Amino acid sequence: MDFENLSESFLQIENKISLSGYLQAICTDIVNRTISRQHIDEILQKEDVNYSLAKVGFLHLIFEYIKTALEDGVLTITEKENIKFLKLLFRIQPGDFYLHNKSDIESTIAFQLSKIYQDNTVTNDEALLKVDLQEIFDLSFDEMNDYSKVEAAVSIQKGADPKNLDVFFTQKEFFKLK
């Protein structure tokens, strides 16, 4: 985890979106590099916010960090470690993103996949980005593959070679495309 990167990113987030009291305090602690689980609990207690309700806000903060990290179309090792750190810090469990932010996840993945498939081929770096997206959003291979099929189908209809698309179609699905 890289506190400098995290601090800079959360400073951008703080300036970009309006945050409620407890989220603002937590964001400020991240910027100042003074964040801890204990401090989060103290803030929630002081603001009289139930952790279950706060989790939705925490997911929102992590999602804003992910959007910031993806602006260049790459997730660095540092950014992935920071995302894992934030999930641990905020006690985010697998499935929480999908449960509370499904539409945001779908739009982010669709946007990234459209960029990946725009040239009708998937490079090794782009394939790794797909795996990274799958991992940070706690998706299964099948869930990520289903998202990929939409963009891959467009590429195939444009004449792309399916072997260059890093996607799995069943035989029945593939022949429906032709």
| Domain regions of the chain by residue span | 1-92, 95-178
138: left (phi over 0), alpha (psi -120 to 50) or beta: left
Element (H, E) at 132: helix 124-136
108: left (phi over 0), alpha (psi -120 to 50) or beta: alpha
3-state secondary structure of 134: helix
Torsion of CA 93, 96, 98, 102, to 10 degrees: -150
Q: What is the pLDDT of residue 101?
A: 87
Reported pTM: 0.88
Per-residue pLDDT of the chain (178 residues; tens, 9 = 90+): 668 889 999 999 988 998 888 999 999 999 999 999 999 999 999 999 999 899 999 999 999 999 999 999 899 999 999 999 999 999 999 999 889 989 999 999 999 999 999 999 999 999 999 999 999 999 999 999 999 999 999 999 898 888 999 999 888 988 887 6
